[in-house]
């Protein structure tokens, strides 16, 4: 594994498969999964459940808390695999401030496929009505270092293998690449 990446964020819009892919990466590469949604304060969950998009202020404390969690796990000697939308560059920078050698796996997906997936998942607080707001906020990290962009419609096992290959020594790109 590439020792220069001490933590990974699996990112993208709702429905891209962050939880499933993050879990597969953690299993495949030996990392510790952190579900970013589990750290949302009750007010954020209430807003999203009501179909109200989160704004930068809503996300600020959540992102700070996720950065603290990443740093603590890295300091314990483990490699965290965080699932987090991380839609904007400034959100990713907040996480990078906590763990500078952070890699991002960007799961790319069309709005239509995201909506189809969100409609099919039971019991999640994020309604399909917020998909458009997610894409409106998305600033793809394609020009950012330590970022791997993947087609989220590929099988989960394939995505985990591609991330594992990327994590191997000499596999880290200087800029984002699509696989």
Residue 163 sits in a domain whose CATH number is 3.40.50.300
| 45 located within any domain | yes
C-alpha 152/C-alpha 158 separation (Å) is 10
- Total domains in the fold of the chain: 1
Q: Which region among 32-36, 40-44, 88-92 has the lowest average model confidence (pLDDT)?
A: 40-44
CB 115 within 8 A of CB 15: yes
In a domain, 1, yes or no: no
pTM beyond cutoff 0.95: no
**DSSP assignment of 86-133, as one string?**
--SHHHHHHHHHH-TTEEEEEEE--HHHHHHHHHH-TT-S--GGGHHH
In a domain, 170, yes or no: yes
- Is residue 139 situated within a structural domain? yes
State the Cα torsion 170-108-99-157 to the nearest 10°.
-60
2 within domain boundaries = no
> What letter would DSSP give residue 4?
T
Residue 141: inside a domain, yes or no?
A: yes
* Banded model confidence at residue 2, pLDDT cuts 50, 70, 90: very low
Please write the tens of the pLDDT for every residue from 56-111. 898 899 999 999 999 999 999 999 999 999 999 999 999 999 998 999 999 999 99
Mean pLDDT within 29-55:
85
Domain that holds residue 168: 7-178
Residue at 22 is within a domain: yes
């Amino acid at each position: 594994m590439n020792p220069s990446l001490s933590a990974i964020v699996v990112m993208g819009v709702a429905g891209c498969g962050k939880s499933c892919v993050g879990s597969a990466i953690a299993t495949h590469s030996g990392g510790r999964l952190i579900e970013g949604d589990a750290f949302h304060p009750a007010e954020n969950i209430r807003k999203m459940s009501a179909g109200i998009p989160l704004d930068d202020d809503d996300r600020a404390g959540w992102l700070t808390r996720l950065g603290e969690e990443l740093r603590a796990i890295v300091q314990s000697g483990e490699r965290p695999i965080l699932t987090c939308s991380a839609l904007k560059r400034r959100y990713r920078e907040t996480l990078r401030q906590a763990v500078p050698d952070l890699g991002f796996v960007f799961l790319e997906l069309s709005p239509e496929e995201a909506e189809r997936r969100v409609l099919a998942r039971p019991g999640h607080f994020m309604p399909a009505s917020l998909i458009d707001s997610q894409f409106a906020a998305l600033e793809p990290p394609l020009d950012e270092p330590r970022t791997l962009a993947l087609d989220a419609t590929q099988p989960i096992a394939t995505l985990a293998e591609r991330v594992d290959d990327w994590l191997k020594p000499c596999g880290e790109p200087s800029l984002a690449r699509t696989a």
